[in-house]
Amino acid sequence: EMFRNYCKARWSISKGITNVLFNSSLQVNILPSFGFLFDIDGVLVRGKTPIPAAKTAFQKLVNSQGQFLVPVVFVTNAGNCLRQKKADQLSHLLGISQDQVMMSHSPLRMFKRYHEKCVLVSGQGPLLDIAQDLGFCQPITIETLREKHPLLDVVDHERRPNVLVSIYFSVVLFGEPVRWETNLQLIIDVLLTSGYPGNPYHHENYPHIPVLACNMDLMWVAEAQSPRFGHGTFMVCLENIYKKITGKDLKYEALMGKPSKLTYQYAEYLIRAQAAERRWKQPIQTLYAVGDNLMTDVYGANLYNHNSWENELASAAAARCRSVLVCTGVYNPHTEVPLDTRETITEAVFHGHRDFRFDPGLVEPDHIVPDVDAAVDLVFQLENFAPN
């Protein structure tokens, strides 16, 4: 209850300030110059149960024909299904197209230099369908590699060797696999043989072939009382095995999923594409990232503002990304939250990926509100937005 009161107090202060700004401005905007990036779990749903505030929020975001009044992208770190399946899961809220859903692996569409080459894919779910949907023409699963080179996986002693040899030009890590020991062994084999598994290791082959990884979450919350290992934990295992064997750091060609800047840049690209499709002439100036997690949603939004753009998404980028933290997700409602969030974060163990620096300033939200409905109200006031 104390936590809920804290959220409401912060929301009241924000609301009061924005009411002054709103009422003192003579200009009311009827076309959007901003877009929403909504996290899903903890913001719109808890597990499979919709959060009540989500339905009221989306009634404000669509017109009488069910069309969005502002560009909206749903950003999730999930990566074990196709975009359409995730869009279907949100259909209880409103009609959502797969083009509005961004999975952790969605930015892989940009890596076209790997699409025509043979790539090894690791994870679970419909991996081949996901990889082909992203543009990869020759994806090979760990199971297929295991069948081609059974002697590499000593867990199964009954398979006979197969003399087929493939060369792998890159490794794509979609998510945590089911059989970690097999995936760890065969990925190491591919990295230490420059893509020729079955050949002897050559430690001098460094840097290794490219590795692209999606979803760096160390842990995730399921039905159990304690968090479960996520793909980030699998990556920690892979990185430490590689370094123990070679004495060198495993390097990534790209890291995708919140809080990576590439994820927010690609989400901004999708926002602009929506605005162009609707023929909204106003340039998109501000993104509002609405989430429930300081270490992913807030960190990523702030990182967007701290980094330069270095890829084809750089043109016409939004000027800023503002984070809006909701109180319906990962926070424990019985935990007292101090006014200075930095004190808690500084003392906590950093669960972010090895390649992300820890900076207390990156986990400071711009706004804290009770729920997603309050987040929509706040943004509409900040933007003086009153659609017809």
* The CA-based dihedral angle spanning residues 290, 370, 13, 24, taken in that order and rounded to the nearest 10 degrees: 60
Q: Does the pLDDT of residue 156 top 70, yes or no?
A: no
Q: Which long-range contacts (CB under 8 A, 24 or more apart) does 149-156 make?
A: 149/186, 149/189, 149/197, 149/198, 151/198, 152/185, 152/186, 152/189, 152/197, 152/198, 153/182, 153/185, 153/186, 154/185, 155/179, 155/181, 155/182
Q: What pairing do the DSSP bridges indicate for beta strands 211-214 and 254-256?
A: parallel
User: Is-contact 330 337, C-beta < 8 A?
Assistant: no
* The CA-based dihedral angle spanning residues 26, 32, 35, 41, taken in that order and rounded to the nearest 10 degrees: 90
User: Is-contact 383 33, C-beta < 8 A?
Assistant: yes
Average pLDDT of the chain, as a whole number: 84
State which CATH number among 3.30.70.3420, 3.40.30.10, 3.40.50.1000, 3.40.50.2000 fits the domain covering 108-255: 3.40.50.1000
Q: Does the pLDDT of residue 54 top 80, yes or no?
A: yes
Those residues with Cβ within 8 angstroms of residue 103's Cβ, 6 or more apart along the chain or in another chain? 76, 78, 79, 81, 83, 86, 214
Nearest-angstrom CA–CA distance, 93 and 70: 16
Locate CATH 3.40.50.1000 in the chain.
Answer: 32-104+258-383, 108-255
Q: Which whole number is the average pLDDT over 123-130? A: 96
Burial degree of 121 (CB within 10 A; 0-12, 13-18, 19+)? buried
pLDDT tier at 193, thresholds 50, 70, 90? very high
What local confidence, expressed as pLDDT, does residue 337 receive? 43
Residue 173 β-bridge partners: 122, 213
CATH number assigned to the domain covering 32-104+258-383: 3.40.50.1000
* Digit-coded pLDDT (tens) for 316-372: 567 899 999 998 887 554 554 444 544 544 445 778 899 998 888 898 999 999 999
Largest interatomic CA distance in the chain: 78
Q: Which whole number is the average pLDDT over 208-217? A: 96
Residue type, 83: R
Nearest-angstrom CA–CA distance, 347 and 208: 36
User: Is-contact 171 122, C-beta < 8 A?
Assistant: yes
What local confidence, expressed as pLDDT, does residue 94 receive? 66
pLDDT tier at 89, thresholds 50, 70, 90? confident
Of 221 and 90, the structure prediction assigns the larger pLDDT to: 90
Q: Which whole number is the average pLDDT over 209-213? A: 97
Q: Does the pLDDT of residue 160 top 90, yes or no?
A: no
**Residue 111, both tokens:** 């890596």
pTM for this model (two decimals): 0.84
Nearest-angstrom CA–CA distance, 219 and 205: 32
**Residue 296, both tokens:** 């992913």
How many angstroms separate the first and last alpha carbons of the chain? 38
The share of the chain scoring above pLDDT 70, in percent, equals 80
